[in-house]
Each structure stands twice: as C-alpha cells, then as structure tokens.
Amino acid sequence: MGSRLLVAFAIALAAPASAQAAGVKLFHDTFSAAYRSPFGAVPAGSRVTLRLRVTGGKPRSVAVHVGKRFVPMRRRGSLWAATVATPTTPSIVDYDFRVRIGKRTLWYGDDGSADVVRGGTGVTTAQEQLPFTITAYAPSFTTPAWERGAVVYSLFPDRFRNGDPSNDYCRPGSTTGCPVFYGDTPAKAHLTWNEPVESPPPFNRDFFGGDLGGVQDKLPYLKSLGVDAIWLNPIFQARSYHRYDTDNYMHVDPALGGDAAFASLVAAARAPGIRLILDGVFNHASSDSLYFDRYHRYPADGACESTSSPYRNWFQIQGSTPCTDSDYASFAGVSSLPVFKHDDPGLEDFLFRGNDAVAKHWLGLGASGWRLDAAQEIDHSWWRDFRTAVKAAFPDAPLIGENTAGPADSTEFLLGNELDGVMNYNFREDALGFVHDYTPSKLAHALMALWEGWPKEAVAASFDLIDSHDTERALSSFTEAGDTGLTEARQRLKLAALLQYTWVGAPMLLYGDEVAINAPGSDPFNRAPYPWSDASGNLALYGPPDLGVLDFYTRLGRARAELSGLRDGGFSTLLTGDTTKPPGDNDVFAFLRSGAGAKPVIVVLNKGAMQEQASIPVRGAYANGTTLEDALGGGSFTVSAGSVSVTVAPRNGLVLVGS
C-alpha cells in the first residue's frame, strides 16, 4: 500500500484553509455506515456504497476517485453517493473524493497513515493527497477457530525453565558437550539460574539451560494462567541461545532435549489442551549450518564451500569458495545469517512444497501452527505459495507473521491468501500510547482503524502484544520519570494487560510479564531467565515474582476463558471521557464486545492517577434494571436510563457482564 506511506505532515502542507474560508465543507467518515457501507474490510468482488456530504456550496460535479477511475456521484440533498465494485482478486483499494465548485477543485482524503489518524474522517485539500482504503480479501478466507482469541504464551526455551540439567551445554557431566560457534566462539553455561545475562561481546553464546522438559514441567502453571497455546521461540538445532540462526531444520536442538523431548511435550500438552506454535525462520539460516558450513563442521560441502554443493542455489551467493562476507547477502548485514534465495525450487521443496517439507514435517509431529520470522523480507508471492501448500495439508494450522519488530502496515499480508494474522505491533504502540499519553478518544480511533482495516478473521487471529523478545520489557516501558519505585509501572502493566485481554485478537503474554519481571534494557538484557523462586541464585535480580500481578493475570485468563464475547465478539466504542461534558471522567475509555451469540461484555478503563466516575451508555446491550457484575471481582452495578454508572480505581478497570 505504497500510497499510504505519505505522512500527515505532508497533508498539512496542502493548506486546506482556502476551501474552508470559502464556506465549503466536505465530510466523509469511514467508521460510519452512513458514509461507507458495508463497514470495514469486505470480500473481494463486493459492492461498497460511499457517501460524501457537501455543504456551503453548489458543486459542478462530485466524483469518487477509485484506483484509476473517477466514478460520478449522485446527489440527494447534501449527500452525494456512488456504489463501487471492488476487484474480484484480493487487493487494497484506494479512494478519495474530487469536488469541482466554480473554477476550483477540492479533494477529500485521509489525514494520516498512523492508527491514531488513519480512517474515520479526513481532510479537505487543494491537491490530491492521501487516499482512504478498502481492504478486499479472498472470499474463502478463514482462520483456525481454536486460535482466534486464544491466549498465547511466548517463551524462550533457554530462559524459561531447566527441566533436565544433563542436557545443558558446558555443564560438567552433561551429554551435549561444550560447542564452539562460528569457528572461535565457545558456548558459556550459566550454572546458576538467577544470575545476570552475559553482557556482549561475545554475542548470543550464553546458555541458562532451559529446555523443553522445563516447559513440560510447567504446563500446569501455564494452564492456571488460562494459556491456550505456547509460542516457542526457535527450537531447532542452531548456533546461539536464541536459535534464530538455524543449523538443521529437521532436528530439535540437543540442549533443549532433542527430538524426544519435543515428542514428550506434544503428548503432555494434549491433556490440558495446550497447543504448540513453532517459530519458522525461513528468511535465513546460520553461516555455521549444515547448509552453508562456512566453518567446515560437516563432511558434506555447504554452499560456502563449493559451487557444486547441493545447497549452493539455496542462497544469494556468488564468487569464490570458500566464501567471504562480501560473497553473499545476509540478514540485517549480519554475516552469520546468510539469506535464502527464495525462488529456488529446491529450497521451496525443502521448506514447504515437499511431502515432508519442514513446515509440514513438524505439523505432522504435533505442532499446531507457525509463527513466521521476518516475513517482510520475503516476497508476497512466496507467502501465497507457502499458504497454499501448508493449508492443503494442515488447514487448521495458523500462520502468524512478523512484519518487522514494530508498528507497520500489514494489510497486504492479510488479504486472505497469505497469512492468517501478524504480531500486532500496532496494538502495542496504541496500548503503550494509552497508558502514557493518548487520550481515550485517540485510543478509540486507533483501535477502530485496526478493526476497520483488516479482515475480522485476521484481527482475531493476530497476536496482541505489549512487548516481545525483540522489545524492551513491558515493566520498563511503563516506567515514567517521577515514579515511586516500580509501583506505578506495575499498575500501568496491569492496565495494559487488561486492554490486551479484552480487545479483539489473541493476547500474547511474554514469559515473566505475569510476575512483573524486572529486566530493563534491550536485547540481550530483556531476555532474562524467568525468576523462579525455587531456582538457584539471586531471586532479587529479576524478581522476586510479584504475586499480586500474577493473580491479576490469572483472573484475566479466567475471564477470557469464561466470557466468549471476549474471544468472539465484535468491537464498538461506548465512551471516551475526554469528549464528554462531565469533567470527572476525562481518563475513562469504555467499549463493548458483543455478537456471535455471546453475552455482551462492557470494558471500562481508567488511565488516570485518580479514581474517576463515569456514566457508560450501554447502547441496548442490557435492559434497564440489569445487574452487571465485574468479572475481575470489583463489585456490581445496575443499568438505569440506558447507562451504567461506575467508579473506577486509578490505572485500573472493570469487565462488566450481566448476571
């Protein structure tokens, strides 16, 4: 969606003042069915009615500019309308409005690409600027029902729990030895669990000994949190603790327990109904891998060693052998991560086309889906082929992509012919913004922009996160100058988690956040070991676990499981306190999750540092006289005159449902 890369600053330069000064006013609202119907993303080939209100002048002509076409609009009073057909193939449709009045031409389009301004109303300009968009997705698009709205627990196996010290790298008496990576970097063992991560350089070579056995041991704990699925960061043989530098895609790393440990975990996870989502690193491999073998560890020639290697055509490589840094493309300029040549048929057969291709092999062994690393680095046509091949064999396996480790426009991945969902860094930006400085109305707009812009199935399948292994930890993100220790940061963490667990999508919980792990800094410091109270070392280093925060996450997980509206319901805003007349609710945001036969859920959030009172319109969700209970244990309230009056504690909220 290249046109959306224009920024609001550029639009501001278009100087709309001349149009307004002449008294002409244009208005369109993508969030309102009165101006765009049907709302939101639509199946490809759908007809969409667009309306523009024009007041203060008599236009010679009004047209909607759709793609390369100008479609005349018909007038009824001050409203001009046209119905347009979206293409029959999945696509993103741009549109804006051209109004000719006298000798002037005015344009009405969107006023920015960030969620807080994208969609909704627009801006009048003297020149054509940023268009609105309609997402037209594949009519057959569906995402796995079990994963939509599921609670997903994200963990680094090495940093979660050590279930079998005998497989630890470099531990005296272990079965896995003490490997040397990339020719000259020896692995290092943390023989104590609660101790600091290694400060690089060297990079990525320190192991705490966490493994799949440790994950299996803690399945009851994860079930108590309401976890439906575990996203395991890479588990295949690799050349670092993070394992995003794959050595061999067909085997689990021996320091994680090997293939047998994976089979055991799959079997054990069935009883509590917990699924396993694997991390697919298909953009690049390790230069120290079976396939590239720059450091000559394998008897067969890798791509770096010989032009006749069976793996040579899998990589973007040329020049002499053995290769040097300048002979091949690498991810992010890191020479240890040679990039695949994705259009090579042999590579495609290995990764997804073949009957026992990597993507199918592990699903066949009991994995339930894939999180796909660095999806933005691979052409969209490759992902379309990937989806076709994998879904033909495993239609119930979700495909969730990473589109950069930050907010980005992911719509093109979500047209129904590529991915099921994405890691929703846009949600993270909006949640952090609300906790810190967004007004309630700003958050409401941002969430509605997401709800409008993607197919509903994709919104429900995407991972809603407030941090990840690639970002600063949530607790650190929520710390502000002037705080009293970490008290306020923990309150903000709980507020963000409440939004995360009650909005649309699959809330993704990064290991340790549920006990307010205190691991400030970016990679590698954010990847600290989970502060288990029964593990060796200094528990105060990253802990101790905050049991109050743990209890809050447990209650969120219970509410998510018990209230189907939080998993399957739609979304609409009920109140933005900063736009109401009463002065005592300026920090309150309330929204409704309803539909799909579920009991309506009203969510109320107070981002302020003081207790606030608000009267929330229920919009017909409940009749007058209905008693609403707070699913988090905060009391009961009665609907009266179409509203429910509530008192909300500072940096806290309510999850209200009819009793």
Residue pair 441/587 in contact (Cβ under 8 Å)? The answer is no
The question of whether 373 is a catalytic residue gets the answer: yes
**CA distances for 114 relative to 180, 351, 441, angstroms:** 45, 35, 15
The question of whether 349 is a catalytic residue gets the answer: no
Q: Token pair for residue 425?
A: 């860094």
**CA distances for 448 relative to 1, 419, 442, 504, 529, angstroms:** 19, 21, 10, 11, 36
Residue pair 461/441 in contact (Cβ under 8 Å)? The answer is no
Phi and psi at 343, nearest 5°, equal -90, 5
Phi and psi at 653, nearest 5°, equal -170, 180
- Considering 402, 430, 467, 513, which one is annotated as catalytic? 402
Q: Is the dihedral of CA 383, 386, 392, 396 positive or negative?
A: negative
Burial of 122 (0-12, 13-18, 19+ CB in 10 A): buried
Smallest CA-to-CA distance from 422 within 359, 465, 483, 390 is with 465
d(CA 156, CA 161): 9
d(CA 589, CA 612): 11
3-state secondary structure at position 278? strand
Q: Token pair for residue 650?
A: 């500072």
d(CA 590, CA 441): 10
- Considering 373, 418, 430, 472, which one is annotated as catalytic? 373
- Parallel/antiparallel/unpaired status of strands 612-617 and 643-648: antiparallel
- Give the position of tokens 């939101």: 40
- Give the position of tokens 């954010």: 526
Residue pair 268/408 in contact (Cβ under 8 Å)? The answer is no
| Catalytic center residues | 373, 402
